[in-house]
Structure 1
Amino acid sequence: MSKPELSAFHKLSVTKLTKDFRDGTAVVPASLPDTVPEGQVYVRVLYVGVNATDINVTNGAYNKAAPPFDCGLEALGVVEKVASDVTHISVNDHVLCIVFNAYAEYISVSHTACIKLPDDSPKYLVLAVSGLTAAIALGELGNPCRGDVALVTAAAGGTGQIAVQLLKHVYQCTVIGTCSSDDKADFLHSIGCDHTINYKTDDLNEKLTHYAPRGLNVIYECIGGETYNTALNHIAVGGRLVIIGSISTYKSGKEVAFNTPSGSSLQSHLIFRSASLRGFLLIHYRNKFVEYTKKLLEYTKENKLQLNVDKTATFFGLNSIADALDHLYSGKSFGKVVVKIQEQTS
């Protein structure tokens, strides 16, 4: 297969607003001008990471413009060209990019959105949306302390696995993780989980009562629905629940009303436990990206952090991104789901 050129390549475009990613996107031709705009870098994309929230992108949650528009939140590639005013990034550098146009063979991206990498391993995609979400949400909102008891839901997923490792190896907490299989439980124990709960076979309420009799100090919540309800009912005095997402409701759009065994309101529940409930959206913390990426890379060097890419399935090319997203939603993945877009060339 011949290498795509800047003057004639392909990208994935959102063609209509829908939560059906496959139906709402199409591979279309694209090009970039020969002269790189000021402050920009042209990157040849080698790998992209898929995220559960991609269906929110295609539904217009992040972009109020009418289709067509670009999609894809994270790319890893090699720098092809740089603007004349960009001095700290060079041609052939390997970079990680957090953007809104990642699903393409080439992207034009601001130099401020490029993070230089030591090589082109796809494992570094774990550090992008998934890793930064975990690191910033915990560091800025969760505020874990040594000895805290922490719960991570969807713990074997892309962001959950990072949250588990940070809570255990950096913050030195007791960590409980939810997952959907015994194999995932074994994986979670291998990266630092003290206790695991299989939400398909275990009673979450009973297990939390057993593992956290004094309540949960930190809750990193990704699932929503009844999982969110149950976790919040186990929050400790002074506990912090950070809502990362609500993957169980993304496709249906149906939220579950908060309820407690006593029937108290959410406000009363939080007041009488001096607890806090915080929402988190990564794009609101752009000014923290460089700081926390450096921390994550340092933790990786110190062996406090494993970067686990899903190996249960492989995907190649823009046309396979919808398949990769289906795989993520199937619950079968271990770690970050990655799509290889094209081969590296010398």
Structure 2
Amino acid sequence: MTVLDMPSPNVAATKPALRLKLCEPRGFCAGVDRAIQIVVLALKKYGAPVYVRHEIVHNKYVVDGLRDMGAVFVKELHEVPDDGQPVVFSAHGVPKSVPARAEARDMFYLDATCPLVSKVHKQGLRHVKLGRHVLLIGHAGHPEVVGTLGQLPEGTVTLIETEEDVSAFEPADPSALGFITQTTLSVDDTAGVVKALQAKFPEMQAPSSESICYATTNRQDAVKVAAPETDLFVVVGAPNSSNSKRLVEVAKRFGARDAMLVENEREIPWESLKTGATIALSAGASAPDILIDAIIAKARENFDVDLEIVQTAEENELFPVMRSLRDVPLTEADMAFVNGSA
């Protein structure tokens, strides 16, 4: 029985009422699930340590849990000793130079790049192959953007962050442009940038399919439905999680009176919630459900909670791990961690 199935405890008459709107989908996406699974399976098959370049996903709870299992997180490959143990590349993707350096050192590496990020890499390379200069819509410095920029030949790509960047950009050949986007952007903000690009460069070519991933879109759609008439919209996610920060922005834009990004239940200002208040709850694609469960449990400790599910889509996507790890058995505890429920 999950925390959602549990009845609220008997409440005293003085316990204030609270309406809690819980978004679905929320939390782990298929790419995050796959990346975490790769690290856990590698630890099972090869033993500790398993090195991970950068955070495997942007979530402290997940990173700390993997560290407790024996994962060692490093910033760059020069921190990895030549001990024959595997190194895992994060779900955000890496520049081509990273596996090249690993191969130069005969390192054993496992690439946990999300397949949807890899799809964006291929879309960019297709533009280049067709003679187009690539416009990458995204946030400077984000690991996914760094990785995508590093997939394309030097001089073939320009980063576009805002509509102001569109105004300032003057290409050598306006008729030979193609765009791609970071997978975790705000759908609405990106549409504005794309519209500005299309108005200025009508011959610009779109990618062969949508670049923003299904999980980002689905989570934003659920937030849009839940946000109106909400006193506080709580998004669970890491401060460096792009898709989580976008959910906070979407909540404010679509009617929430206030919205905040938290990492756990202790960061929520429970004492400021008045009786009869309405809060909504979602989570970024790298936040495990155990953190959501803790927030709901804390709410029920302090309030008479009326729980409402706001569901806008069902997600059944599954991204398999590489063949070399598919025969490794996982315990129920391992699977609970991979799935975000423990």
Query: One fold, TM greater than 0.5?
Result: no
| Greater RCO (Cα-Cα under 8 Å, separation 6 or more) | 2
TM-score for the superposition, normalised by structure 1: 0.34
Identify, as 1 or 2, the structure richer in helix. 2
Alignment TM-score, normalising by the size of structure 2: 0.34
Larger strand proportion, structure 1 or 2?
Answer: 1
